[in-house]
Amino acid sequence: MVKLIAIGNRFMKDDAVAIKAAEILEDRLIRQDIHVIVGETDFQNCFYLLDEDDFVFILDALSSGAEPGSVHLTSLEDVMSQPSLFSMQHDLSMVELMKLYGSQFKGYLMGIEIYEIGFGQELSTVLRDKLPQICRVIECAIKKIISEEITNA
């Protein structure tokens, strides 16, 4: 099964960007047989909802200094083999748990570059304005990956 897990904190401005994107995309992804899990900060529960044969997309906020709203795509295989490729807002907690348990999930980490983290229930104006484009990039990337890596496997 293909699963998308959105990690983030709704009360820390741009840290919620993955959650907001997943909620916008949820109906379209479900029609493509993708199970959407809005995990918020409960990455441990998300981990236990995964099966060994799942293809997993982990969607999270990220801070690498790139253009706010840009989407970074890295295979879980590459992420798992590195100490840390990006500064994720959740310290790669989901990935660290996978490493701890020796899990070999296939899939991708999709990091959305933040503009601002701080207390607040709304995204920054910068990301709010870019959210439709962010969603298009995420959806196109998922469709392409499914067509290339899952359908043709």
**16-71 pLDDT per residue, tens:** 999 999 999 999 999 999 999 998 887 778 888 888 899 999 999 999 899 999 99
pLDDT digits (tens, 9 = 90+) for 84-142: 545 454 444 666 666 666 677 899 999 999 999 999 999 999 999 999 999 999 999 99
Residue 125 CB coordination number (10 Å)? 10
Question: Structure tokens of 53?
Answer: 């044969």
Q: Which residues have CB under 8 Å from 104's CB, separation 6+?
A: 52, 80
pLDDT number for residue 97: 64
pLDDT number for residue 101: 63
**DSSP summary character for residue 16:** G
Q: Is it the case that residue 83 has pLDDT exceeding 90?
A: no
- The residue segments making up the domain with residue 76 are 2-151
Q: Which residues pair with 75 in a beta bridge?
A: 108
If residue 130 lies in a helix (H) or strand (E), which one and from where to where? helix 125-145
pLDDT number for residue 103: 72
Q: Which residues pair with 134 in a beta bridge?
A: none
In terms of pTM, does the model score above 0.85? yes
Count up the domains in the chain and report the number.
1
d(CA 28, CA 147): 16
Q: What is the CA radius of gyration of the chain?
A: 14
CATH (domain of 27): 3.40.50.1450
Question: Structure tokens of 138?
Answer: 């995420």
